[in-house]
Amino acid sequence: MRVHAIQTGVLQIKSAHRTLRGPEALRFPSILLDPTYTEPLPIYTWVIEHPEGLIVVDTGESAATATPDYFACDPVWANLQRWAGFIRFQVTPEHEIGPQLQRLGLSPNDVRWVILTHLHTDHGGGLSYFPKADIVVGRQEYEGHRQRPLGAIPCRWPSWFAPHLIDYPHSPVWPFPGAYRLTQAGDVHIVPTPGHSYGHQSLILQTHDVAYFFAGDTSFSEQQLQAKGLAGIVHDPRQARQTLQYINDYVELIPTVYLPSHDPEAGRRLAERRTVVECGC
Check if the beta carbon of residue 9 is closer than 8 Å to that of residue 89: yes
Specify burial of residue 22 (Cβ count, 10 A radius: 0-12, 13-18, 19+): exposed
The residues in 202-231 that bind Zn ion, with binding defined as CB under 5 A, are 217
Check if the beta carbon of residue 228 is closer than 8 Å to that of residue 241: yes
- 141 counts as binding Zn ion under rule CB under 5 A: no
User: Half-sphere exposure of residue 14, counting CA atoms within 13 Å on the CB side?
Assistant: 20
With CB under 5 A as the contact rule, the residue among 18, 50, 95, 120 that binds Zn ion is 120
List, in sequence order, every residue forming a beta bridge with 7; answer none if it has no partner: 44
25 to 64: interface string for Zn ion, x by CB under 5 A: ----------------------------------------
| Alpha-carbon gap, residue 5 to 57, rounded angstroms | 10
Check if the beta carbon of residue 43 is closer than 8 Å to that of residue 4: no
Instruction: Pick the stretch among 99-107, 116-124, 153-161, 187-195 that binds Zn ion (CB under 5 A).
Output: 116-124
- 14 counts as binding Zn ion under rule CB under 5 A: no
| Of residues 187 and 194, the one with the C-beta less far from Zn ion | 194
Instruction: Pick the stretch among 27-35, 117-125, 181-189, 237-245 that binds Zn ion (CB under 5 A).
Output: 117-125
| Of residues 54 and 119, the one with the C-beta less far from Zn ion | 119
Interface ranges with Zn ion (CB under 5 A): 120, 217
